[in-house]
Amino acid sequence: MSSASLDIATLYERHADDLLVFLVRRTADVEVALDLWAETFAQALAGRSRYRGRSDAEAAGWLWTIARKRLAMYFRKGRAERRALERLGLERPELDPLIEEEIARRAGLGELRRELAVAIAALSEETRIAVRLRVVDELPYADVAARLSISEPAARSRVSRGLRALGDALDYGPTTEGARA
């Protein structure tokens, strides 16, 4: 797969399922994961002219890097971006309960939620509160810092520590990123 012939359709065919499972397991939210998943492929399509790889493995790595960046951005901002989708005039299909159920089943979401509950309970109280303020309540770091009466760098450190811990819990599942990318 040369840079001149990057085939998004083939990338999609090979990675759509696994990428979705990965994102569901990282976010524990099917809707959010689908937004990130769709935006990942839209970004891959929109940015394919910038792809410089030569092999299938490089193409896969490139795609998964886009996905990880979208995920990191989601954790930072607390919302899934849709810029490439909007630019392309692309919409993902509407989700219905049947499909949501199947995606959750493939990702092992029920079990994952139980694991997450354990992981969250294992966080220190101060870390748990910081993660909740940032990720659940979607507060800017400045506000998280103000609420906790700590400096902003300390708030960032605390949240990132919590997310790392939760991320470690989310790394285990029916399929893993490492096995695919």
> What is the rounded distance in angstroms from the CA atom of residue 148 to the CA atom of residue 98?
41
130 binds another protein (CB under 8 A): no
Long-range contacts of range 138-146, CB-CB < 8 Å, 24 or more positions apart?
138/78, 138/79
CB of 97 or CB of 136, closer to another protein: 97
Q: How many residues bind another protein (CB under 8 A)?
A: 62
171 binds another protein (CB under 8 A): yes
103 binds another protein (CB under 8 A): yes
Contact predicate 82/35, CB 8 Å:
yes
41 binds another protein (CB under 8 A): yes
118 binds another protein (CB under 8 A): no
**Which of 56, 101, 137, 138 is in the footprint of another protein by CB under 8 A?**
101
Least separation in angstroms between CB 54 and another protein: 20
Long-range contacts of range 28-34, CB-CB < 8 Å, 24 or more positions apart?
28/109, 28/112, 28/113, 28/116, 28/170, 30/95, 30/100, 30/103, 30/104, 30/107, 30/109, 31/95, 31/100, 32/74, 32/80, 33/103, 33/107, 34/92, 34/95, 34/103
Q: How many CA within 13 A on the CB side of residue 30?
A: 18
147 binds another protein (CB under 8 A): no
138 binds another protein (CB under 8 A): no
179 binds another protein (CB under 8 A): no
**Which of 148, 175, 176, 180 is in the footprint of another protein by CB under 8 A?**
148
Which residues of the chain form contacts with another protein (CB under 8 A)?
A: 8-9, 12-13, 16-17, 20, 38, 41-42, 45-46, 48, 68-69, 72-73, 76-77, 81, 83-84, 86-93, 95-96, 98-99, 101-103, 105-106, 124, 126-127, 140-142, 145, 148-154, 156-157, 160-161, 163-164, 167-168, 171
